[in-house]
Amino acid sequence: MSSEPSVLDVRVYELVPGGGEEFDRIFREHALPMLNRHEIEVVAYGRSLMDGDQYCLIRRFASLAQRDERLGAFYGSSEWLLSYDEQVDALIKSYRTVVISDVSVSAETSGPRMDT
């Protein structure tokens, strides 16, 4: 097993006005099972508590190479392209993806506490 940390892919979507509920439904009912079939670990997902037209999806991969391979297979699959690509794209105004190392920080090394 590699000593390298896994990779977190954090994607934040800005959805079209009023699109949050439908985007969430499609994600939970269709995209999430597809991600599972493509062996893509979903760490967290959901609508913003402050703005229902923002949506966050966090995925974990063993490496950048695995991320590229699995996302390519997912988004390039005929199931996605024929059934969901246009439908989901119509709900997305824009999105931003940040990819970071999944490194846990212990309480002892996380810096000064702000509540003291």
Count, in order, helices (H) and strands (E) of the chain: 5, 4
| Domain range list for the chain | 12-101
User: Per-residue pLDDT tens for 17-34?
Assistant: 999 999 999 999 999 999
Report yes or no: 9 and 99 within 8 Å, Cβ to Cβ: yes
Render pLDDT for 33-67 as a digit per residue (tens, 0 to 9). 999 999 999 999 999 999 999 999 999 999 999 99
Residue range 12-101 forms a domain whose CATH class is alpha beta
Strands 41-47 and 92-101: unpaired
N-term to C-term CA, the chain: 40
